[in-house]
Structure 1
Amino acid sequence: MPSNITATSSSDWKYISEGGSSIVFSYIGSADEFIGTALRLRKIENKLPYTEYADGKEELDDPTILFQHRIIEKLVPSAYLPRLDSVQTDREWLELLAKQSEEKRPAERRAKDRIDAGRRKAVLATDLVGGLGWAVEIKPKWGFLPSPQHLSKDTAQLKTRSCRFCMHSHLKTTESEDVALGYCPLDLYSGDKERVTKALHTLWDIWIGSSGKVNNLRVFVEGHMLKPSMSPSSLQPLAAQILPQNPDDLPDLNTLRDAFTSTILPLLLDTPVLRLLSTHQRQFDALDVEGLSALWKHANQPLGSPDIPPPVLGEGLAQPTLEELEAFVEIYLAKHTTMDHDHPDTANLKYYCLAYLLSASFKDCSVILRMVPVKDGEEPWRKSVTVIDLDVKSVDRLHKWEQLDQKIVEAYIGLPEPTHCIDQTRVEV
């Protein structure tokens, strides 16, 4: 039986942050059961009514919990994953929590959505940003260049030279979006000290320059998400953590950036997490969306009717069940490295579709680097790396991803100085 979160006071939960679909609170009360935990609640658009359940109908556990326990834990060691458990809640408690936290939410979020107070269950997770010390959230994004095998002659040279993230960043700038322009994920994934340093410096500079609007890097100090600016005083809480010898003497931004980088750089170089993410991204996306689309069209072209277009990528494909995903992962772990991906068989179409969905999960996750102070220890910090936001993706997005890929490439073709991204782990051809 899940714990009942309503046994705690809503005032014992402090707003931390939120994304597109959920909002996170850190526990600051004294109940042993919840110390060191965070509460993740689903949101709903303001224009929609709360989710409702018929009397007697039980709400299922959040898909994130089931997906981690039954799928992700087969692919990522549990030491690098947060605790995820289901807890019970109710409308009155959620509405009170929403009321108490509303003013702390960003204005653009408040205008768009709110806590779904109709839910009866929520997710209780490891609190990776609250308590003593500080934490860094990084969204690494795509960590590989595709094989040219399944790319068209129009895209092969471009896609094997410039990574997807750098190309997508260019598209976003043409649409006046805030973006991490200049950051290349392949630098972060490289395992090379100079390149990882370059990635961290770029992420820092973008974080400062955008006042935290670009969220590929976020920093939390004792549960508070910092809102940086060009003024060093905005980073005083972080300075007090990493340069405690001069708590009242604020360093300049470059000095603080160097101290920040030197603290987390060894952790990023030592952890196997980034290599693991890159490997899964690459292997799950063995065909690129272009190759997947070609295989889909070949399998679904109406016989004897070459003039009739096949359904668009993913159309008619049911959202995979957990049982189907479990079966897929078993095949992936046992056979993927021995399969002939250069000549994919239409009989394996569903396998490649499920693989692409899981690749998207690994491309869109975050990594939390946590530093907890250690008294009288050889090292000042107890450090950890945790992968979060490995959520299941909808099969309905396959065609949207295909269209976005085409749009990104079209915007990048002909650019006078395309980026030259170096994939440290790819065999050059």
Structure 2
Amino acid sequence: MELTLTEQDAAHWVYRGEGAANIVVSYTGSSPSFIGKVMRIRKSPRKASTLPGVRNTIALSSHERLIWQEVHKLISSSDKEIAGQLYVDHVMKPLLGSKYVDAGTHILVTKEFLKTVEKNVDSQRPAWRVDVSQVDKQCDFALLMSDHSIFPHDGQGSSHSISVEIKPKCGFLPLSTFISEGTAIKKKITRFEMHQALKLQRGEISQRSVYNPLDLFSESKERVHKAIKNLFTTPQNNFRVFLNGSLTLGGLGGGAESTDACMAKVLEDELHSVIQAGDGQCTENLFTLVTEAVQKSGVLNQLLEVQKLDRFDVEGAIHAYYNIIFQQCKVCKELNKEQAKAYTSLHSASLEESLRIIKDYLIAATAKDCSLMICFRPRKENDSGSSYNTVYLESTKQAFDYKVHFIDLDLKRLNKVEEYYELDKKIVSCYKQMNKIDDGRNEDAKLQGPEVTNQQGSEAANLQGPKVANLQGSEVTNLQGPKVPNLQGPEVAY
């Protein structure tokens, strides 16, 4: 952290986007030290619970230091932001592969730099983000990283690039024996699909996504292609497209509405500068490129292995959590003696075993919530000296360099485990409740259809059929919730 950014440097950093904890800005100046870089600047709540000028610098709690005791640099860090960077560097990078993970470096910044950046970017931030958070001007450093939405200027390949950011989510169905009978549906329906029901009920989304994470992780070219196309159809906060580092499709400060014909046309037109396909074919070719890169790189196989470190599910991990914090298990307290027997083995486990369960659970939670950035650029003809991997687009006879990086590999805190457990219960309960409602509607439709046809003939059926379909289809969809931004948006692409 030798370099220090001052007030005079602020004008060269422009808003790229933000998530719950950080604002991301990208560099537009001419300094070789920062070209092709982005910076994560920590945020703080506007209604701080601590006194002005005082912030919590405790990186890890005493229980967390037990969990991560083998990562010496992490447990000795003095600030939670530094701890986060060390976690990526020493925990996630070895698991996911050093070539796919950029932990970044910290750089010193002055309070004046932060004040000026905040002044410059506030007009571009979503209003609801501005209302609840601000730049943390008590923090004297920021995290500097490569901009993974573009290629570095190495003189090779095209100057144009396309990048796609995907938030894969959990790619498997849990099999843990600690999943109760009441939540056994988790073994059949993906967490992503069930969570959509809760988000819809809360008004965080206006319609459910058609994306299925199991398709993306399937290793079937057809299913992977389908997953990419479905993400494009309903991006929410799970899919973004950048052209030369500028957002073309998706949301910056949170979620995005479903892709309509106008959005699709804009993307199609933008892609013409990179993909040499006919009108209406560029977007489809982009799906093919992403599918090929996902399969050729094998990164999702590695990600899935890390996600599967969660062998006990949160319904098992919660018991290990109470072992670690040396408190009576609140979950078992609500069960009868017969039900509590199912978790006896967890509560009789050693402290070391409980620590391992929670450590693996938290690592898996990071892997389930991270994003994947895949960047492409057309390879120049007769260029055989590129250091990047290549995919070939048969339909346009174009070769593309591509690079893949995992981003948003945030350290999940121990004190969140109880929240994760409660959220899990809400997700399952809401899905089951809404599914019963849907089943009821389906039964009504079955009863109404044949009766109308038998009693009044085909003409009456034709008159009433579309009306019933409209009430149960698009009209119901429009009534299911306001179109508001997703308040749980992730860190944006960088």
Q: Structure 1 length normalisation: TM-score?
A: 0.77
1:280 counterpart residue number = 306
In structure 2, distance between residues paired with 1:299 and 1:43: 30
Task: Give yes or no for the alignment of 1:292 onto 2:317.
Answer: yes
Q: How does 1:376-391 map to 2 (within 5 A)?
A: 376=381, 377=383, 380-391=399-410
Write the deviation string for residues 313-357 of structure 1: whole angstroms up to 9, x where unpaired.
9xxxxxxxxxxxxxxxxxxxxxxxxxxx99656111222122211
Offset of residue 389 of structure 1: 0.9
Write the deviation string for residues 344-387 of structure 1: whole angstroms up to 9, x where unpaired.
56111222122211111111100001113432247543201100
SS in 2 for 1:104: coil
Task: Give yes or no for the alignment of 1:264 onto 2:290.
Answer: yes
Seq. identity, %: 29
In structure 2, distance between residues paired with 1:219 and 1:191: 22
* Structure with the greater alpha carbon radius of gyration: 2
Q: How does 1:390-409 map to 2 (within 5 A)?
A: 390-409=409-428
In structure 2, distance between residues paired with 1:133 and 1:237: 14
1:329 counterpart residue number = none
Seen in structure 2, the aligned counterparts of structure 1 residues 245 and 301 have a Cα distance that, compared at 3 Å, is: closer
In structure 2, distance between residues paired with 1:121 and 1:298: 36
In structure 2, distance between residues paired with 1:237 and 1:33: 34
Task: Give yes or no for the alignment of 1:171 onto 2:202.
Answer: no
2:377 counterpart residue number = 372
Query: Any gaps of 5 or more consecutive residues in structure 2?
Result: 57-76, 152-159, 251-259, 333-342, 385-397, 440-494
Amino acid in structure 2 at the alignment position of 1:92: E
SS in 1 for 2:6: helix
SS in 1 for 2:242: strand
1:361 to 338, 357, 366: 366
Amino acid in structure 1 at the alignment position of 2:349: T
Seen in structure 2, the aligned counterparts of structure 1 residues 203 and 299 have a Cα distance that, compared at 3 Å, is: closer
In structure 1, distance between residues paired with 2:283 and 2:233: 8
In structure 1, distance between residues paired with 2:143 and 2:269: 29
1:337 counterpart residue number = none
* 1:12–1:28 Cα contact (<8 Å) kept: yes
Offset of residue 391 of structure 1: 0.8
Offset of residue 215 of structure 1: 1.2
In structure 2, distance between residues paired with 1:53 and 1:149: 42
Amino acid in structure 2 at the alignment position of 1:18: E
In structure 1, distance between residues paired with 2:216 and 2:413: 28
In structure 2, distance between residues paired with 1:81 and 1:291: 30
In structure 1, distance between residues paired with 2:314 and 2:277: 52
2:231 counterpart residue number = 203
2:118 to 84, 95, 98: 98
Seen in structure 2, the aligned counterparts of structure 1 residues 373 and 353 have a Cα distance that, compared at 3 Å, is: same
Which has the larger helix fraction?
Answer: 2
2:189 to 145, 162, 173: 162
Q: Which moved more, 1:144-153 or 1:77-86?
A: 144-153
Offset of residue 244 of structure 1: 4.5
Q: Structure 2 length normalisation: TM-score?
A: 0.68
In structure 1, distance between residues paired with 2:365 and 2:52: 29
1:78 to 86, 89, 98: 98
2:218 counterpart residue number = 190
Q: How does 1:104-183 map to 2 (within 5 A)?
A: 104-130=124-150, 132-156=160-184, 158-178=185-205, 181-183=209-211
In structure 1, distance between residues paired with 2:222 and 2:97: 28
Write the deviation string for residues 261-312 of structure 1: whole angstroms up to 9, x where unpaired.
01211001112211111111112x111111223556789999xxxxxx6346
In structure 2, distance between residues paired with 1:31 and 1:120: 21
1:318 counterpart residue number = none
2:4 counterpart residue number = 4
Amino acid in structure 2 at the alignment position of 1:369: I
* 2:169–2:369 Cα contact (<8 Å) kept: yes
Q: Which moved more, 1:286-295 or 1:94-103?
A: 286-295
Offset of residue 161 of structure 1: 0.9
Amino acid in structure 2 at the alignment position of 1:127: D
SS in 2 for 1:23: strand
* 1:133–1:241 Cα contact (<8 Å) kept: no
In structure 2, distance between residues paired with 1:12 and 1:86: 18
Kindly tell me the number of residue pairs found equivalent between the two proteins: 368
Seen in structure 2, the aligned counterparts of structure 1 residues 43 and 297 have a Cα distance that, compared at 3 Å, is: closer
* 2:106–2:142 Cα contact (<8 Å) kept: yes
Amino acid in structure 2 at the alignment position of 1:114: Q
In structure 1, distance between residues paired with 2:22 and 2:174: 31
In structure 1, distance between residues paired with 2:119 and 2:268: 30
SS in 2 for 1:124: strand
1:216 counterpart residue number = 238
In structure 2, distance between residues paired with 1:413 and 1:363: 23
Offset of residue 114 of structure 1: 1.9
Query: Any gaps of 5 or more consecutive residues in structure 1?
Result: 208-213, 303-308, 314-340, 419-429
RMSD in angstroms over aligned alpha carbons? Answer: 3.0
SS in 1 for 2:182: coil
1:230 counterpart residue number = 261
In structure 1, distance between residues paired with 2:22 and 2:53: 14
Amino acid in structure 2 at the alignment position of 1:112: V
Offset of residue 396 of structure 1: 1.2
* 1:372–1:382 Cα contact (<8 Å) kept: yes
In structure 2, distance between residues paired with 1:407 and 1:35: 45
SS in 2 for 1:39: strand
Amino acid in structure 2 at the alignment position of 1:363: K
* 1:360–1:393 Cα contact (<8 Å) kept: yes
Write the deviation string for residues 51-82 of structure 1: whole angstroms up to 9, x where unpaired.
5579xxx9746332111122222212110012
In structure 2, distance between residues paired with 1:388 and 1:85: 14
1:327 counterpart residue number = none
SS in 1 for 2:30: coil
* 1:180–1:203 Cα contact (<8 Å) kept: no
Seen in structure 2, the aligned counterparts of structure 1 residues 280 and 227 have a Cα distance that, compared at 3 Å, is: closer
